[in-house]
Structure 1
Amino acid sequence: MSNLPTTLPAWLALLEARHAETVINMGLDRVLAVKERLQLAFTCPVIMVAGTNGKGSTCAMLESILLRAGYKVGLYIKPHFLDFNERARVNGELATDAQLVAAFNAVEAARGDTTLTYFEFTTLAIMGLLAGAGMDVVILEVGLGGRLDAVNVVDADVAIVTSIDIDHTDYLGDTREAIGFEKAGIFRAGKVAICSDPVPPQTLIDHAAAIGADLWLMGRDFNYSGDKQQWNYGGRSQRRNSLAYPSLRGANQILNACAALAALEALRIELPVGAQEVRTGLVTVELPGRFQVLPGRPTVILDVAHNPHAASALNQNLGNMGFHPYTFAVFGSMQDKDIDGVIAAMSEHVDHWCLATLPSPRSATASELAAKVQLVQEDKAERTINIFDDPAAAYANAVSRAGENDRIVVFGSFLTVAGVMAARKSSFH
């Protein structure tokens, strides 16, 4: 054991090397076995959040409100943009390298000869770190699906499914009904299960009934009303009036805020939260890469929209922004996504495409993207399509061509947004 890495970068490199060989292995038996050996258990309420889109935003709102209310909050959120530490937040601060190295050492010691994927190993490590950090509440974001996700070896006190749309079809199935069933896998008997998708698949409703979960549905058990200035939440037994809109921009954020407030209503005995803390928490919440409008000109928007559902929300948000003569899109995508659907959803506002190949074997190449853009967008006279080897180069090209009243929207895979974030960071130093 003495030859284990002693730094976080070395640990991550080891895990990546080890798991280049490991296939995504469906099933939770291995993770459960290591969890038992770690004696991993939470002594505080756990909120688990799954969904195709909106889960990161919902987690961030819960964290922001609960921190404002004076609770010690642990958060596991994915993926990271620049530093792995972004995945583990202890009381609003990123976990330190030392905390993560200790957590990795603990999993390695408990693992024995059980193989774990990169994701399973790091999930157990971060959950172990949060379980031992003396938190009042822990918020866990689910990765793929729900039922077979490594996070699901923990029983949540409140489980939230934000939206159900088609993504990751290789693993989860290609209908909303199939995906809804996978997401509902985080529900537990006798515990509150919240779904903020306004049109929940029947499979999700049936699964909640079959296991005896207490299902709260948008529009039936909780809802919202409002005008341009403010909005109100109405739950089963709690109303919250004259709330400010969340600082995360976009029309869909109100559904995510409702899910967060429903979870707080469900936990109101264990974790009471006052009206002012809810208001302040919603107004101050921050989440990188979710319709994030950067200061300066031209306007730059970062958004990790990588499926048609998220892309049409991004397109709607762009339409609400006011006039910009030209819109430049920096776009890169993984091959397994519905790329045609994403491009179609965005084509209304994009004049100039700067397409990037991503640093991943699963990336679609920039030329593949260009061929798809050409099919969708043959009608725009002034449209241009350029291809680049990486997101930084695509972004540099957009910056060099955009006028100060234009806008640049960087979207697609997390790797697209992370590549541009890293390039911007290094150009400021």
Structure 2
Amino acid sequence: MQRSLSDWLAWQAGLNPHEIELGLERVRRVIDRLSLDRPAAGVFTIAGTNGKGSTVSFIEQLCLANGLETAAYTSPHLIRYNERMRLNGKEVSDEWLIEQFEVVDAARADIPLTYFEFGTLAALHGFSQARADTWILEIGLGGRLDAVNAIDPDISVVTTIALEHQDWLGNTIDAIAAEKAGILRRGRPAFYGDEPMPDGFRQAAKQIGANVACLGVDFVCQAEPGDTWTWQGSATEFAGLPLPTPADPTQRRNVSLGLAAVEALDPVLLNRSAVERALAAARPAARFQVIDRDRQWIVDVAHNPQAAEILRQKLLDLDAHGPLTVVIGLLEDKQVDGFVAQLADLADRWLVCSVDVARGHDAQELAALIRQAGGRDVMTAGTPEQGFAAARAISQPGERVLVTGSFHIAGPALCWLGLY
């Protein structure tokens, strides 16, 4: 009997005893057996602590606006596993995924792939078969030893670098930066989207021999009066560009990285018409997504202190008043105190949920940590859906409800609100 997509995913989750097992040896062995064809135009690989998905989305849309056929790979997903893989901007079907899983399973033989490795190989094989012009690949964790890095990029992008996944990447910014710099390649263009550039990243790039351009130095974006902004790259500049969605400095940074990366692929692709169409089309879900209903719902996948700091500024910039209810669910490996510290003085009440994944924080334990970090009026609410219902019940019409902390709570929120 043929396996369904859910059957395949459940089986993959148990194939390797480790949920995460960094290293390229297993993946490279299977890639050799799959005999993949590289895309004609090139491969973009995007790493970083925050902003990867938004950057992938803009590069994808800009390539599409120029008539290129695209293949994009991101993780994790919000609702459906299919979201992780897109061909020409559309998520792939269950049948497409099952076909790739069957090929990967036959090629791997007895190699015990992790869930992420299996999915990555399925994406790469399917993209190769689709003959897409360009691949836009998001790193899952770190960079150097992530399965995606088994494919040599033509252009590397690192969005931001902050403390995260210390058990895997190291306990300092420089150690983490060196891991993320592992996606760079000698003599090939690379782009970094934050200031200042960590010493560990700069040193690793020098050892690799990569040509790294930095936002604010080698390419620049600047807000203009009103609702426009400017961008200047190595050979192209624009004034009066419409704002991206969401219209904030962080998203301008992500778009700026995308513009610089595509300019390195081919400056001809940076024509104004295509750029403006890409800005209008690139709207990744659950990135400070504001849904005005009986309450003003704000859904954001922020899940680390750096993202919470950015989220805090967006909340302060939002023209809104009245109490703020936060519905939150975090994974166990996240820095609760640093995350909560950014929002504690803005949140009037917290509804803490357990997210239904292996590494999900228990609601009671998470609530205790939020109280210790300075959270006021902290309550537990069981499942995410119970949390959303409770938030509606204890808030008044017109008040704000923020849902944040994980893809695993943001996705259910969009479903509960009827957007999926």
**Structure 2 length-normalised TM:** 0.96
Q: Give 2:39's aligned residue.
A: 43
8 Å contact kept, 2:63–2:269: no
Question: Which segment is superposed worse, 239-248 or 46-55?
Answer: 239-248
Q: Give 1:314's aligned residue.
A: 311
Question: Which segment is superposed worse, 144-153 or 42-51?
Answer: 42-51
8 Å contact kept, 1:335–1:362: yes
Would you say 1:394 and 2:387 are equivalent positions? yes
Q: Find 2:22's aligned residue among 13, 22, 26.
A: 26
- CA-CA distance at 1:317 after TM superposition: 0.4
Q: Give 1:278's aligned residue.
A: 275
Q: Give 2:229's aligned residue.
A: 231
Measure the CA separation in 1 of the matches of 2:3 and 2:363.
38
8 Å contact kept, 1:410–1:417: yes
Matched letter for residue 383 of structure 2: D
Matched letter for residue 74 of structure 1: A
Would you say 1:409 and 2:407 are equivalent positions? no
- After superposition, the C-alpha distances for 1:90-130 in whole angstroms (9 at most, x for unaligned) are 01111111111111111111101111101001101011111
Measure the CA separation in 2 of the matches of 1:422 and 1:256.
26
- CA-CA distance at 1:63 after TM superposition: 1.3
Measure the CA separation in 1 of the matches of 2:170 and 2:18.
22
Q: Give 1:255's aligned residue.
A: 253
8 Å contact kept, 2:230–2:237: yes
Identify unmatched segments of 5+ residues in structure 2: none
Change (3 A) 1:9 1:324: same
8 Å contact kept, 1:324–1:405: no
8 Å contact kept, 2:236–2:270: no
Measure the CA separation in 1 of the matches of 2:300 and 2:247.
11
Measure the CA separation in 2 of the matches of 1:216 and 1:371.
43
Would you say 1:424 and 2:414 are equivalent positions? no
Change (3 A) 1:6 1:365: closer
- After superposition, the C-alpha distances for 1:291-339 in whole angstroms (9 at most, x for unaligned) are 1111323110110111110001111101111232111100011111110
Change (3 A) 1:13 1:23: closer
- After superposition, the C-alpha distances for 1:206-234 in whole angstroms (9 at most, x for unaligned) are 22222221111112211112324211111
- After superposition, the C-alpha distances for 1:366-393 in whole angstroms (9 at most, x for unaligned) are 2222222323337xxxx42210221111
- CA-CA distance at 1:23 after TM superposition: 5.0
Q: Find 2:370's aligned residue among 354, 358, 373.
A: 373
- After superposition, the C-alpha distances for 1:279-299 in whole angstroms (9 at most, x for unaligned) are 121133111111111132311
**Structure 1 length-normalised TM:** 0.94
8 Å contact kept, 2:76–2:84: yes
Name the SS of the counterpart of 2:153 in structure 1. coil
Measure the CA separation in 2 of the matches of 1:321 and 1:262.
29
Name the SS of the counterpart of 1:18 in structure 2. coil
Q: How does 1:269-308 map onto structure 2 within 5 Å?
A: 272-308=269-305
Name the SS of the counterpart of 2:398 in structure 1. coil
Q: How many residue pairs get matched?
A: 418
Name the SS of the counterpart of 2:318 in structure 1. coil
Q: How does 1:46-65 map onto structure 2 within 5 Å?
A: 46-65=43-62
Name the SS of the counterpart of 2:262 in structure 1. helix
Would you say 1:93 and 2:90 are equivalent positions? yes
Question: Which segment is superposed worse, 226-235 or 31-40?
Answer: 226-235
Matched letter for residue 394 of structure 1: G
Question: Which segment is superposed worse, 295-304 or 360-369?
Answer: 360-369
Matched letter for residue 391 of structure 2: A
8 Å contact kept, 1:50–1:141: yes
Matched letter for residue 20 of structure 2: I
8 Å contact kept, 1:248–1:287: no
- After superposition, the C-alpha distances for 1:226-270 in whole angstroms (9 at most, x for unaligned) are 32421111112221222111113433111111100100110115x
Matched letter for residue 54 of structure 1: G
Q: Give 1:357's aligned residue.
A: 354
8 Å contact kept, 1:193–1:208: no
8 Å contact kept, 1:195–1:218: yes
> Percent same amino acid at aligned positions?
36
Question: Which segment is superposed worse, 224-233 or 312-321?
Answer: 224-233
Q: Give 1:216's aligned residue.
A: 213
- RMSD in angstroms over aligned alpha carbons? 1.7
Name the SS of the counterpart of 1:233 in structure 2. strand
Q: Give 1:244's aligned residue.
A: 242
8 Å contact kept, 2:259–2:270: no
Question: Which segment is superposed worse, 296-305 or 360-369?
Answer: 360-369
Measure the CA separation in 1 of the matches of 2:352 and 2:302.
15
Question: Which segment is superposed worse, 27-36 or 290-299?
Answer: 290-299
8 Å contact kept, 1:250–1:291: no
Measure the CA separation in 2 of the matches of 1:179 and 1:289.
26
